[in-house]
Every structure is written in C-alpha cells, then in structure tokens.
Amino acid sequence: MSKVCLLIPDGVGIRNYLYSDLLKLLREDGHEVLIWHGLAQEVVSLAAKINEFLPQQKELKAFPEDIPVQILRESSTYARLRHNVRITNNPTLMLNWHHKKGPLKRRILVGISEFLGRQISNYDEILATEKLYFSRLRKTHAYKYYYSELKGMKPDLLFCTHQRFPGAAFAMAAAQDLGIKTMTSIFSWDNLPKARLPIRTDFYAVWSSFMKNELKLYYPEIAENQIIITGTPQFDFYRNEENIQTREEFAQRFGLDPSKHWVCFSGCDIATSPHDAKYLRDVADALKSEKDIQLIFRQVPVETVDRYAEVLKDFPEIIHLNPFWHKGKFWQDFYPLPEDVAHLVNLSFHCATVINIGSTMALDFSWFDSPGLYLNYDHQQGQVWTTKDIYRFQHFRSMGDWDAVCWANSQGEILPVVKQIISSPESLAMDRKKWLSLIVGESDGSSSASKIAEFINSFSKTPASAE
C-alpha cells in the first residue's frame, strides 16, 4: 500500500496512537509503518507488545526555534486570540496568553510578541504574519535537517499525532515541499479556541461535527474537504469491554471496599486549579461522616501530590490512586503506561461520580452514564483565579442550556448532591449523554482508530492541498 510515518513529538500522542489499535490496523491493511519520535525505548517496547509487532523507528531530533520564528508565531497567536475574542464575545480566551514569568529573555520575547500582535488589526494581517512565519521557518537549520531526513525516508503520509507542538512545524513544512501528504489530529476538545495551531497540514482529524465547525470558524482558510471527522482514540478504550474488571477485582487491587459507593476526586493541573488541595479538603470534609461512601483521589498525571500532602495526612481515609505514568524532568519525558488506560476506564465505570474543577473527566464518566460534579465556588473573595473565569471558557459554551453536569455552588452543597447522584443518578445532569455525543461525536459502533486507518487507506486518491 504506502509508507505511513507517525511523527510523535512528545508523550501526548502515546496513549491515543501507540497504545490504540491504529498501528496494528495500518499494518494489517498492508501499510509500512514508521514512527518518528524522541521517546524512551521502554514506550516503544510496550507499544510493540500491545500491537504484536515492532514498527520501524527513526529518531526525532529536536531543535530550538530561532528568535524571529518564535516572535512571528507568538505575535500571530496573540492576534488570533484577540480575533477569537471578537468573534465569540468571550474575553476569557485571553487567559490563554502567556504569563510574563520566567527568565528575562522569555519575558522580553513575550512582551515583543504581544506588542506586535496588537498591531495586527484584521484577519488578512494575521494570515500575512503567518505566511512570514512559514517562510522564515523554511530558512532554518531545523527545516533543512527535516527536509533531508524526509527525503531519505520517503513516506507517503506524515501524520503528526497532535497539533500543538511548535517544533513539528519544520517537519510538516518540509514534507509538503517534498510532495508528501501531511495530516494532524486536534488533540483535545478545548484546543481550537486557544489559537495553538502552529502547523499546517493537508488534512485535520477532528472528534466531531462540532469540532469541525469550530475549526472552520477559527481557521476559515482551511477547506472543508481537509477536515476529517474520526472521533478520538482515547475513547476507543472505553468501548473495549476487556478493559473492565469486576468491582471485586478492582477493589482488591487498590484496597477499596466493594460494598461502598466510590466517589472520585480527579485533580487538575496547578494552572487550571491552583487551589485544588483546598477543594479536595472540602470534599473529604463533606463526606467524612458517610460510612457507605469511599473517596478516591487521582491527581493530574503530570504533577506530584506535594500540594495535597497535608490533606491526605489529615484525611487518611482518602484512597490515593497514583496514575500509572512515567514522570521525567521535562514535559516530553512524561508518558502513560498501558496499565493507566484500564485504570481510567475502571474508575469511570465503577465510581458513582467524579468531582473536580471543570475537568474533561466529566466526559469520561458520561461515557458510562455517570454524572460529573463540578465545584463552582471560590475560597476567598476577590481572589485573582476564580471559578467564574473557568466556567466561562469557550469550550464550556458547548453545554448551551443543557443539564450536562451537576454543580456544587458551595461546600455545603457537596454532600446532598453526591447523595442524590448515588440514590438517583437519572435525576441529575440529564443531558450528559447528549453533551458527550456533541463533543466526541455520535457513535456508529466503529472505533476512532479504524476511521483514521480507513481514511489513510483512501488518502492516496485525494490530491494534497497547496500551501
């Protein structure tokens, strides 16, 4: 058939693409499969065990962006955020802009980019700035290196496993200049409004019709026939009943009481919820007298539990289930282990609800028809970070007027809402399945991996778009 190269710039693409059925399906369809990555060999070995074959490998060499490329990219990003605020009437989008923190060099670069971004007054000027960005990156050593590498590899398709990584732009531009078809996937349901699309490809895999319309709204220059609705492989694992253990097996493995109702508090990253430890304390305090409820805590995988340590000490009844992730020094060194896939599936299947500050986990739980519970109150009056800002983020507008999740507007509401969820889950968040279908896409019984593979099988019949 053809040679398919998956560009995996960091650990983000591991779960969805190395641990899913995609590689196996591509191989079964007769494709030559190559992964271009800078991952630890342990990951590749784990994926090979899952897929029952070891794909070809190529080491992905990383290059720092030069200053002009960074400034052009970031200034267009700032301008896009301002543009997105205008077309959505949602000022919270500007909260996705960089904080002026860190080394002096970075703060200066962010400041220059912001100043230049303010001078870009309309969408045509945004496109013109991005044209300069793509032109400039083609003059870099990184572009020339990737051009040479791709010329030797000769893939028919270069598929970047997520769209946010700026370093992938050099390789994708080189591939297009060599006549190699290119493709990427939009990684998460909240990515598109944030103006983080530093690469351009011939095709874009999106989760749903809703996400397709978002891509057309924020990037009208991308043609409709370039956008492919595939779903996301992360929910393929929920379809596979083999991932689900019995309640007794799961309880025995993690020291849980199968006779109790399990409630999961899933932690957020420190930027999304800097007061997360206080919210865990609130939940633990609210549930401490309920002998038939067991509270489970899972922190966000890329962080430690240091900021929760005091709460866990004060409430030893909390069952802390650490994510099965390898943790490194840098972002690209973090990656999930295969065991974490089934771990998340079983948490979502067996727990009555998940409690957090606006986490995607509400969608995971909705898959098994369990309502999510969002905490919707602040701890201090006048604090800089507020839940009001969080729930005004653009991706939450997808709920519309639907009753998609449960809400606790004070600590005092946590226990009664949890009790109602346990006793009559059908009476709360009654539109949760409708919301899930909107974001993830209507289920037709086929997996996302199979849809991606099916498109790749047909891509040679579709002409690549001109840059």
What pLDDT, in 10s, does the model give residues 94-115?
Answer: 999 987 678 999 999 999 999 9
**Euclidean distance between CA atoms 277 and 281, whole angstroms:** 6
Phi, psi dihedrals of residue 149, rounded to the nearest 5° = -65, -45
Please report which confidence band the pLDDT of residue 460 belongs to, taking 50, 70 and 90 as the band edges.
Answer: low
441: left (phi over 0), alpha (psi -120 to 50) or beta: left
- End position of a domain, from candidates 84, 104, 136: 136
For residue 198, is it within any domain?
yes
> Based on the domain organization, do 88 and 119 belong to the same domain?
yes
> Based on the domain organization, do 300 and 381 belong to the same domain?
yes
For residue 467, is it within any domain?
no
Please report which confidence band the pLDDT of residue 352 belongs to, taking 50, 70 and 90 as the band edges.
Answer: very high
The pTM of this model reads: 0.94
Task: Compute the average pLDDT of residues 153-167.
Answer: 94
Report the candidate in 14, 10, 6 with the shortest Cα–Cα distance to residue 172: 6
For residue 266, is it within any domain?
yes
Q: What six digits make up the tokens of 21? A: 């059925």
Phi, psi dihedrals of residue 213, rounded to the nearest 5° = -65, -35
Name every residue whose Cβ is closer than 8 Å to that of residue 16 and which is 6 or more positions away in sequence: 161, 185, 187, 232, 233, 234
CATH of the domain at 379: 3.40.50.2000
- End position of a domain, from candidates 136, 161, 178: 136
Please report which confidence band the pLDDT of residue 40 belongs to, taking 50, 70 and 90 as the band edges.
Answer: confident
> Based on the domain organization, do 72 and 8 belong to the same domain?
no
- Residue 466 has what pLDDT? 41
Report the candidate in 300, 278, 58, 265 with the shortest Cα–Cα distance to residue 171: 58
For residue 9, is it within any domain?
yes
Percent of the chain with pLDDT over 70: 97
Judged against a pLDDT cut of 70, whether residue 436 lies above it is answered with yes
- Residue 1 has what pLDDT? 66
- End position of a domain, from candidates 106, 136, 166: 136
Judged against a pLDDT cut of 50, whether residue 135 lies above it is answered with yes
Question: Which range marks the domain in which residue 83 is found?
Answer: 67-136
> Based on the domain organization, do 44 and 108 belong to the same domain?
no
Tens of pLDDT, residue by residue over 363-402, are: 999 999 999 999 999 988 878 889 999 999 999 999 999 9
For residue 466, is it within any domain?
no
Q: Are 309 and 329 in contact (CB under 8 A)?
A: no
> Based on the domain organization, do 169 and 50 belong to the same domain?
yes
> Based on the domain organization, do 225 and 365 belong to the same domain?
no
> Based on the domain organization, do 271 and 334 belong to the same domain?
yes
**Euclidean distance between CA atoms 350 and 341, whole angstroms:** 15
- Residue 332 has what pLDDT? 62
> Based on the domain organization, do 260 and 300 belong to the same domain?
yes
Q: What six digits make up the tokens of 256? A: 């849980």
Task: Compute the average pLDDT of residues 404-427.
Answer: 98
> Based on the domain organization, do 364 and 390 belong to the same domain?
yes
> Based on the domain organization, do 183 and 328 belong to the same domain?
no
For residue 236, is it within any domain?
no
Please report which confidence band the pLDDT of residue 467 belongs to, taking 50, 70 and 90 as the band edges.
Answer: very low
> Based on the domain organization, do 195 and 127 belong to the same domain?
no
Tens of pLDDT, residue by residue over 300-344, are: 998 899 999 999 999 999 999 999 998 877 666 788 999 999 999
For residue 237, is it within any domain?
no
- Residue 11 has what pLDDT? 79
What is the rounded end-to-end Cα distance, in angstroms, of the chain?
A: 26
> Based on the domain organization, do 146 and 116 belong to the same domain?
no
Please report which confidence band the pLDDT of residue 458 belongs to, taking 50, 70 and 90 as the band edges.
Answer: confident
Structural domains counted in the chain: 3
Tens of pLDDT, residue by residue over 183-218, are: 999 999 999 999 999 999 999 999 999 999 999 999
For residue 361, is it within any domain?
yes
Tens of pLDDT, residue by residue over 54-97, are: 999 999 998 988 999 999 999 999 999 999 999 999 999 999 99
- Residue 463 has what pLDDT? 46
